[in-house]
Amino acid sequence: MRRRPGIGRTVLVGALIVLIILVAVAAIYVRKPAPTPSPTPSPTTAAPTTAPPAPKIEEIVIGMVEPLSGTHSIFGIEAKQAAELIIEDINAKGGIKSLGGAKLKLVVEDSKDSIEGAKLAAEKLISQYHPPIIIGAYISRHTAAMAEVTEREKVILVADALVDFLSEKGWKYFFRACPKTSIHGKTAMDFVYETAQRKGIEISTVVIINEDSVFGRYTALGAYHEALGLGLTVLDQIEYPYDIADASPIVSRLMELDPDVVISVPYFSDGVLIATTMEEVGYKPMIVAGAGGCGYCDPDSISAAGSAVEGFTQTYSYNPFLNTPYNREIVQKFQERYGKLPTEAGGIIFYSLWTIKEALELAGQMFPEDPLNPDNLRQAFLALDITSGPAAETYPSGHIKFGPNGDNIYAMAVVLQVQDGEPVLVYPFEYAQAEPIFPIPGYKP
């Protein structure tokens, strides 16, 4: 019988080879690792969800540039004295609480009473001490030079100089709590006009005299515009060198013009010289109203000029007689330590340093991770709205808030008058300690 055909040897071998290949491929596929996804952090290795703790700040350097030598040293020395007193007070009261009680350290450089000196002083402070904030430099032209440095280096400048143009430059890191010069000129003119009205005295003519720096010109401009706005006639505006040595030509011109009112914009030495020259020749208008915040009514001017400044007035960026708890406290401390009433030079420093303190507190709250960054500090200054505490209690209006240009939008000046050899507050009338004397003693029509 014949056998049925079977599977050939060749076919079996081929099938076996195919089977082996399929098994091998399957094994490779099974063994090939799947793509590994990014690991999800476990609770023990997860990235932190909160910012790391801010670095501890133990000390903050506050730089200061003032004229400690030269013609204007009388102002710079008092500013330095006031700063030392306030820094001590801030530190004694707990420092910057939002920064863990960080203390302030004052580092002072002398501007040497020159534009270049102020610039070099700022550069030295920044390169050696790295302060986030500098305060100064009282003289406006010196402050302008310094501001070019602080703006370039992104250091906050808190100015104690008054000229308007400082806040007209578009500087990003510039702030000023004190009233600018145009406010001083306007305040001096308003005071004279309103006082004359209260006393039923008619005034119609004005002469403005000013030293020839940018400070003198801007202050005089404020008085000039206000006089015209009040319907008064400005007979002349007389400029003289700030380092004038002979005031007799100015006084002779005043006698020739014979105005009802003299608005004067002096610093210190020139103010004393003008007043004593007037007394020597026997010339007294109805009033000599100083504008611009220095000269005539400060204790040093009264001491130097004596009876020559009796009845003279002066606008101030600070009211030493402001009846608030902290102002009374700091005036007493200043008098006990330095033996005199603080003037504008010291008063501006009082509220400016306390404003700096408030800005640092706010920066610590707003930007705890980097409070001293210049842009963060700038935002803190712009966010301030101070109506209480030492800064407000030493400021004439009791209110400090900065506009986009860095000026205090609640800026205010007051008027002091020399009465019986002592300065007293006479304007605004609602804050006055005494009624203004008008006309001044010795006036001869």
- Between the alpha carbon of residue 124 and those of residues 28, 113, 134, 260, the distances in Å are 74, 16, 12, 49
pLDDT above 70: percentage of residues in the chain: 88
Q: How far apart are CA 338 and CA 245, in angstroms?
A: 30
Dihedral sign for Cα atoms in the order 147, 148, 150, 151:
positive
Q: Residue 16: pLDDT band by 50, 70, 90 thresholds?
A: very low
CB distance 218 to 181 below 8 Å: yes
Per-residue confidence (pLDDT) for residue 412, from 0 to 100: 97
Name all domains of the chain by residue range, CATH numbers in brackets.
Answer: 59-179+322-393 (3.40.50.2300), 182-316+414-431 (3.40.50.2300)
- Between the alpha carbon of residue 330 and those of residues 166, 270, 324, the distances in Å are 29, 30, 10
Least confident of 242-246, 259-263, 396-400: 242-246
Q: Could you report the per-residue pLDDT of 388-445, keeping only the tens digit for each?
A: 999 999 999 999 999 999 999 999 999 999 999 999 999 999 999 999 999 999 898 7
> What mean pLDDT value characterizes the chain?
89
Q: Could you report the per-residue pLDDT of 110-160, keeping only the tens digit for each?
A: 999 899 999 999 999 999 999 999 999 999 999 999 999 999 999 999 999
Give the residue carrying structure tokens 């009261």: 93
* Cα distance from N-terminal residue to C-terminal residue, the chain: 166
Q: How far apart are CA 212 and CA 215, in angstroms?
A: 8
Q: How much is the average pLDDT of 8-20? A: 43
Instruction: State the pTM of this model.
Output: 0.84
pLDDT above 90: percentage of residues in the chain: 82
